[in-house]
Amino acid sequence: MTTFDNREKAAEAGFVAQESAEFGARARRDRFIGHWAAGLLGLNAEDAKAYAKSLVSTDLEKHGDSDVIDKLKKDFAAKGVEVATATIERMMAEKMQEARDQLKAGR
């Protein structure tokens, strides 16, 4: 195996690790957002946990955040809860940073 082959394999392994970490961070972020939204929707603890889990599944439907944002907006509207899209996006950014920080710290 050449040095180039070794570098290529190392680069591929690094990419896979980074993508795996990003997937884990997004899933954690979605759970955080789910609990935040559940509080606004007035859900009890058990339903909040299930709702947070449902957001993780929703995020697998499309690339990007639009699927999660659309679900949140729909669910808020169904309960008569007014939350601006900008607020949802800001919370998603904050919770993503929190998720990354936790994963980086090994929690």
Q: What residues contact 102, with CB distance under 8 A and at least 6 apart?
A: 28
Structure tokens at 73: 């907006």
Whether pTM > 0.85 for this model: the answer is no
Separation CA 44–CA 46 (nearest Å)? 6
Per the model's pLDDT, the better-predicted residue between 63 and 14 turns out to be 63
Structurally, the chain folds into a number of domains equal to 1
Q: What residues contact 58, with CB distance under 8 A and at least 6 apart?
A: 30, 67, 68, 71
Rounded to 5 degrees, what are φ and ψ at 71? -65, -45
Q: What is the CATH number of the domain that holds 16?
A: 1.10.790.20
Mean pLDDT of the chain: 87
- DSSP summary character for residue 82: -
Range of the domain at 94: 3-104
